[in-house]
Structure 1
Amino acid sequence: MGSLPETQIDYTIHPRVNSDDPVPPRPRPAQPPYLLKDDADAIRVATELAAELAKDAALRDREGLLPLRELDLYSQSGIWSIIVPKEYGGPGLSYATLAKVIDIVASGDPAVTQIAQNHLAILGLIDIDATDAEKREVFGWALQGLRFGNAFSEFGGKNVVDFKTRVTFEGDEAVANGEKFYTTGALLSHIVPIVSVGDDGVYLVFADRETPGITITNNWSSFGQRTTASGSVRLENVRVPKARAVKLQDVSQVPTVQGPISQIIQAAIDAGIARNAIDETIRFVTTQSRPWIDSGKETAGEDPYTIAAIGDLKIRLHAAEALLDIAGRAIDRGLAEPTLANVSDATLKTAEAKVLSTQVAIDATNKLFELGGTRSTLAQHALDRHWRNARTHTLHDPVRWKFYHVGNYYLNGIHPPRHPWS
């Protein structure tokens, strides 16, 4: 990928989140996305992209603007196919590199970054569960630049795995019916993968975004991660070729790294939020804040308590990022050799990374205001978005259970559970 285009965009005509205005299906890309060469190339692309996403991140958050141009840049960057295996034409880069790349991109805009979360997790799931023919089709779509949305979670049910969406088979067609929420990416996707329960197990049904019977409502109203368009999807007799229904393994019976793959992306986004918040704190303290009267210092940056707080945050961020790298390499081992020991190791190491990235994201976004002082709360600075993004995104998977599963393994030898939230 060369330099990102310096195009101007008229945000006054942009669709907004939580709006009744219809958002038509996005056009398919005119050309395939960039194909990443290696780890260094992926880091370079992510760094360039993060700088571009950061430019209007505060504006998009304040106005609730859907990131149309930014999402096109993101999905054409090559990052959305970063884990497509080499034997299927992709870069086949490691999960450690994926975590680093997502961390970097999220430091530019974590909301835009999150839109790729389910796309990437689905690629990992296909790599584990699909047949060769299914892999060739799904990986081929990704290499063409098609974006996968998400029709996974449901708002009703007694817990996150109590799925009511059903799939039935009529001749050569799969027919899906149900309703989904938290459908990050679906609104702006090209293909909507639908988690559905059949008579013989759980399926991932791939439907084109414009398939009759799919209704996507732009009703995401959270105070954080506002521009992810994580609204709802209604499915009414959605028909697709039967070959597009991929049967999923029962992870409670078969050890796979499906859970850690999903989790490491979430943890990396939180690390990116923390990284950006710390950088914003340093910038604000050194350019805007006044020293406290009792410090006897000339500048806020000389305050010993502020210095110590920045040091603490940087150390904890680096620890979280180091654990992300360790977890990524454990996932690579578990993918290559999916033994119970390797899968549990990947799950535990990813859980540890998730704990640290969650904690430092929340603490860094809190400290931004404590160290920046009262003027850091002024609307003109738009710094509150960092805390709102951290508080919202870290709710995906409760870290209180991460402590329990890690402790239960080391104390009692109990392997952690296997599901997408572990």
Structure 2
Amino acid sequence: MTTSAPSDAALYARFAEVFKHIGEGALAREQNRELASDAVRQLKDSGFTALRVPREYGGSGVSLPQYFRLLTRLGEADSNLPQIIRAHSGFIEQRLESDDAAARDRWLGRIAKGETIGAATSERIGSTHNSVTVISDKDPAYVLLNGEKYYSTGTLYSEWINVAAHDTQSDLHVLVRSDAPGVARHDDWDGFGQRLTASGTTRFDNVRVPADQILSRYKASEPRRNSLLTAFYQTVHLATLAGIARAVLRDGVEFVQGRTRTFGVAGQSSPRDNPLVHRVVGRLGSLAYSAEALVEAVAAALERVHQARITDAVTTADYVAVDIQAYQAQQIVLEQVLEAATLLFEVGGASATSEARRLDRHWRNARVIASHNPAIQREAAVGNYHLNGTAPNERFSLAHSPADNVAKTHGSSGHAVTQNDEFAGTGR
């Protein structure tokens, strides 16, 4: 595959206006719970959603570090956007990892033209089985899809939905047109943050799907092959959090520079000249720098393993190491960005809590992102690795397994509750 890509400077220039426009509408969208359809359309039209697609398919072929730098800037403009395209981004990485050339040709070409993929893979808490079923249609060229998924992030904005389902033989992933008859998408996500990600319910009622849109089949008993996807998905969250830290610093500086009063003493001191305010803003700057530096380090590690895979020089230890690195970064970035989003209010007292400003959205969004993946479970996995050499999810990792799969949890039906490595570690 072609690996040459534009320079960072060229990429920043290319997307500067896109980020600016998205950022200018972020507060109004938050205030009105207005879905980010226009912003997503800009990402598609500008080629942002095809950044990782190789040039021979019509994309930009950027490296993983370049992609995560741009994703951080997008998160600074509006943290809903990186999450909206998170499953789509992982779908591209899965195609890049796969040996299925026909699937790469079919789907990467579509993505290069601006089509995106949402996910319908997760069940509501309390569900014990994969509720979406696939049965044969009277025409053997088609199957019928029935059931419901929640946490279907990005699906409202996408042309395609990657659905985790099962039939009488196995679990599978099937790609469904989002506008197909029988597909219903609902914006009923009720989290207090990341409100515009449309992470709600998707229902399938006798949806007729061409059988050649079954992307993969797998059995819950089969081992998961080595993959970068878990670390990749986590790094998307980390880049989004780093973007929030940048937005916190930006909004803190703008707030202080526009003020003429400090700590209730009107007209006698400028906040921007107050050494206490200097300390707060200095801390915000340091936290943003640290978060971004950790994302950069993990992205570089991902790129090294990605390149080693291309040259067939990758080992199981390489995959384990990058997972551990992503998990370790997670522990620090979460705490630092939540600290920054709280510390922001120290620059302005009660006036900073005005709902007109919605500065609380940074904390709310960071807190919701921090809740998607099990940070405490992964912290324990890191400790177990250092103490005992136990790799995360070791019983699911095989170096040379041909399977594109593993389901991590099983219900009474025997079908997977959670997804295979098509969406390993997605959270939502």
Fold shared, TM-score > 0.5 on shorter chain = yes
1:247 pairs with 2:216 = yes
Looking at structure 1, the residues matched to 387 and 17 of structure 2 have their Cα atoms a distance apart, in angstroms, of 44
5 Å-filtered alignment, 1:219-238, equals: 219-238=188-207
**Who is 1:286 aligned against?**
257
**Who is 1:380 aligned against?**
356
The secondary structure found in structure 1 opposite 2:184 is strand
User: Cα RMSD over matched residues?
Assistant: 2.6
Q: CA deviation at 1:300?
A: 2.6
Q: 1:331 to 1:163 in 2, by over 3 A?
A: farther
1:313 pairs with 2:317 = no
**Conservation of the 8 A alpha-carbon contact between 2:272 and 2:278:** yes
1:329 pairs with 2:300 = yes
The secondary structure found in structure 1 opposite 2:257 is helix
Q: Which runs of 5+ in 2 are unaligned?
A: 397-420
Aligned mate of 2:331, from 333, 337, 355: 355
1:411 pairs with 2:387 = yes
**Who is 1:73 aligned against?**
42
Looking at structure 2, the residues matched to 357 and 82 of structure 1 have their Cα atoms a distance apart, in angstroms, of 25
**Who is 1:179 aligned against?**
148
Q: CA deviation at 1:42?
A: 2.6
**Who is 2:235 aligned against?**
264
Length, aligned pairs only: 384
Q: CA deviation at 1:305?
A: 3.8
Looking at structure 2, the residues matched to 322 and 147 of structure 1 have their Cα atoms a distance apart, in angstroms, of 29
Q: Deviations over 1:83-139 (max 9, x none)?
A: 113443432211111111110011111113321111111111222236111111110
The secondary structure found in structure 2 opposite 1:379 is coil
**Conservation of the 8 A alpha-carbon contact between 2:86 and 2:233:** yes
1:397 pairs with 2:373 = yes
The secondary structure found in structure 1 opposite 2:372 is coil
Normalised TM-score (structure 1) = 0.83
**Conservation of the 8 A alpha-carbon contact between 1:129 and 1:248:** no
Q: 1:245 to 1:41 in 2, by over 3 A?
A: farther
Looking at structure 2, the residues matched to 43 and 349 of structure 1 have their Cα atoms a distance apart, in angstroms, of 27
The secondary structure found in structure 2 opposite 1:56 is helix
Q: CA deviation at 1:421?
A: 2.1
Point out which structure has higher relative CO (alpha carbons under 8 A, 6+ apart).
Answer: 2
**Who is 1:149 aligned against?**
118
5 Å-filtered alignment, 1:49-198, equals: 49-129=18-98, 131-157=100-126, 162-169=129-136, 171-198=140-167
Normalised TM-score (structure 2) = 0.82
Q: CA deviation at 1:248?
A: 5.9
Amino acid aligned to 1:203: L
Q: Deviations over 1:222-266 (max 9, x none)?
A: 222122222210112322222211116789531111111211111
Point out the more displaced range, 108-117 or 333-342: 333-342
Looking at structure 2, the residues matched to 405 and 43 of structure 1 have their Cα atoms a distance apart, in angstroms, of 37
Q: Deviations over 1:270-313 (max 9, x none)?
A: 1111110121112212322733479xx93333444433333333
The secondary structure found in structure 1 opposite 2:336 is helix
**Conservation of the 8 A alpha-carbon contact between 2:287 and 2:340:** no
**Conservation of the 8 A alpha-carbon contact between 1:313 and 1:360:** no
Q: 1:122 to 1:202 in 2, by over 3 A?
A: farther
Q: 1:303 to 1:224 in 2, by over 3 A?
A: same
The secondary structure found in structure 2 opposite 1:90 is coil
Amino acid aligned to 1:275: R
Point out the more displaced range, 281-290 or 271-280: 281-290
Q: Deviations over 1:334-361 (max 9, x none)?
A: 3342521111122122223333332222
Looking at structure 1, the residues matched to 172 and 11 of structure 2 have their Cα atoms a distance apart, in angstroms, of 32
Q: 1:326 to 1:408 in 2, by over 3 A?
A: same
Looking at structure 2, the residues matched to 387 and 408 of structure 1 have their Cα atoms a distance apart, in angstroms, of 31
